[in-house]
Structure 1
Amino acid sequence: MFIVSVCSLKGGVGKTSVTLGLASAALHQEVNTLVIDLDPQGDSTLGLLGEPASTVDIAEVLSSPRTETIDRSILPAPWSADAGSHLDVIPGSSRSSVMDAPSQSAKDVRRLHDALDKRTHQYDLVLIDCPPSLNGLTQMALAASDRALVVAEPGFFAVTAADRALKLASEMHDDGIAPRLQTLGLVVNRYRPRSVEHQYRLAELRELFGDSVLSPVIEERVGLQQAQGGAVPLHRYEGASGKRLTEDFDALLKTVLDSRQHS
């Protein structure tokens, strides 16, 4: 099981959009996938289920990381009906926000790691949609992960936010808190190719972070929001921008899965 945290320092960069785009690509390519909605806002849960969950959620999993709790929390996403692979979700919960303190004990940071070790369901890929901060919940996600995928937008604060997120992942690995964790790189999202400001910021990110800036860059296209608003996978969206978006997320998923070879 290959675990990837999708994280960012700030909100509004489309972190959940990237998570759901990757989940759609995984379903399309028949990769058995679990999405863990660790963001108290629960947007991934809405995107995958079409409504908030009323069952066991991630807050209960973190409070009681036992086999029974995590197995009961896992729900099949309607996306995967009639599909050749599983796409499941552990729903998010606003109640998880009480665990998002900036500093955590070593035991608390390992709560998600311990819970995932006790599950009976098997997956090829786990995608964790982290909160838009680097506090306790994101630290729990990174401690359980093989890779950190940092989402940035081509804006004024992008460099500082991306740098802090990449450094946290590196520090957690070096300190032994997340021994398996490696940084996968930066996904630049919501890019507008005709914007001079975006062109400048993308060039700045590439100059500072080099090969850590992944390809493809995800352009801002209305199809991504429309697919999510309809709670349908991007690969079934029939709008004009759907084909380009699906190609981009298929390529990004390939980068994610290929990184398993560098463990």
Structure 2
Amino acid sequence: MSLYSLKGGVGKTSVTLGLASAALHRGVNALVVDLDPQADTTLGLLGEPGGEPDIAEVIASARTETIDRSVIQTPWARSGARSHLDIIPGSHRSSRLDSPALDRRALRRLRDALDKRTQQYDIVLVDCPPSLNGLTQMALSASDRSIVVAEPGFFAVSAADRALKLGDELKAQGAAQRLQPLGVLVNRYRPRSVEHQFRVQELKDLFGDQVIDPILEERIGLQQAQGGAVPLHAYEGASAQQLTEDFDALLGTILDSRQHS
């Protein structure tokens, strides 16, 4: 399951962490793959930068031993959790692999590596870099589902359209044969903003039912939970309640899409 976007600042990492929290809360075994060279998801889940082997080494050496050693149990899952929540840490070294155009063999690197892992999971969440270059193309080629994360801003429609077309292009080329895009997830929505209302309607007019429900509102609870290095579902602030329900629903949509495929 790839989470990607054309541009930064739309909250991909926040969505990834929210889904990871929902998986842990629901008892769903999850692996997070931090493919973004900024490695913010790694910091959010581990509370510190990851070590080696990291995702760069996994992609460079797609061997079972390498990928198994790279998988780290997160602190979120160490105290009474009903499920596994593990991560393959991100690294700035992966930026060297982010070429704008990759050949067919290079596009298969992440898929080949993940297929060789020993541990199996109910869901694998891949946090992509904020671009449509090689690393994102690798992620889509390895995924059976994908979500474009967008914010309700001026460039939302064009950015979402380009991102969705990338998935279609990779499928047409035979590089992402398993991929079934779920659509566009609107994040950081402020319901009282007339501009945000207009941009969401613009997205719905163009993409129809490809706009995923629920729309995620901008709430301080998500940032506070991340700042405290705790799962959203364990955060006691009142502003987190609606978000936990929304992430539970989003996770349910992802899992249900696999059962009905």
TM-score (norm 1): 0.98
What's the offset of the Cα at 1:80? 0.6
Q: How does 1:248-259 map to 2 (within 5 A)?
A: 248-259=246-257
What's the offset of the Cα at 1:240? 1.6
Task: Indicate whether 1:49 and 2:21 are aligned.
Answer: no
Task: Indicate whether 1:220 and 2:218 are aligned.
Answer: yes
Task: Measure, in 2, the Cα distance between the counterparts of 1:188 and 1:40.
Answer: 23
Amino acid at match of 2:71: I
Aligned equivalent of 2:235: 237
Task: Measure, in 2, the Cα distance between the counterparts of 1:221 and 1:176.
Answer: 40
Aligned equivalent of 2:72: 75
- SS of the residue corresponding to residue 168 of structure 1 reads helix
Aligned equivalent of 2:58: 61
Aligned equivalent of 1:187: 185
Aligned equivalent of 1:172: 170
Q: How does 1:124-135 map to 2 (within 5 A)?
A: 124-135=122-133
Amino acid at match of 1:79: W
Contact 1:170 1:182 in 2 (8 A): no
Amino acid at match of 1:160: S
- SS of the residue corresponding to residue 181 of structure 2 reads strand
Contact 1:57 1:92 in 2 (8 A): yes
| Residue of 24, 29, 49 corresponding to 1:27 | 24
List runs of 5+ in structure 2 lacking aligned partners.
none
- SS of the residue corresponding to residue 86 of structure 2 reads strand
What's the offset of the Cα at 1:53? 1.1
- SS of the residue corresponding to residue 200 of structure 2 reads helix
TM-score (norm 2): 0.98
Aligned equivalent of 1:10: 7
Amino acid at match of 2:162: R
Task: Measure, in 1, the Cα distance between the counterparts of 2:247 and 2:56.
Answer: 29
Amino acid at match of 1:145: S
Task: After superposition, give the CA deviation of every residue in 1:35-87 in whole Å (9 maximum; x if it has no partner).
Answer: 00000000100110000012310010011111011000000000011201000
Aligned-pair Cα RMSD in Å: 0.7
Amino acid at match of 1:169: G
Amino acid at match of 1:89: I
Task: Measure, in 1, the Cα distance between the counterparts of 2:133 and 2:196.
Answer: 28
Task: After superposition, give the CA deviation of every residue in 1:204-257 in whole Å (9 maximum; x if it has no partner).
Answer: 000000000011100000111111111110000111211111001001111111
Aligned equivalent of 1:38: 35
Contact 1:173 1:182 in 2 (8 A): no
List runs of 5+ in structure 1 lacking aligned partners.
none
Task: Measure, in 2, the Cα distance between the counterparts of 1:183 and 1:46.
Answer: 28
What's the offset of the Cα at 1:102? 0.3
**Identity, % of aligned positions:** 72
Q: How does 1:77-156 map to 2 (within 5 A)?
A: 77-81=74-78, 82-156=80-154
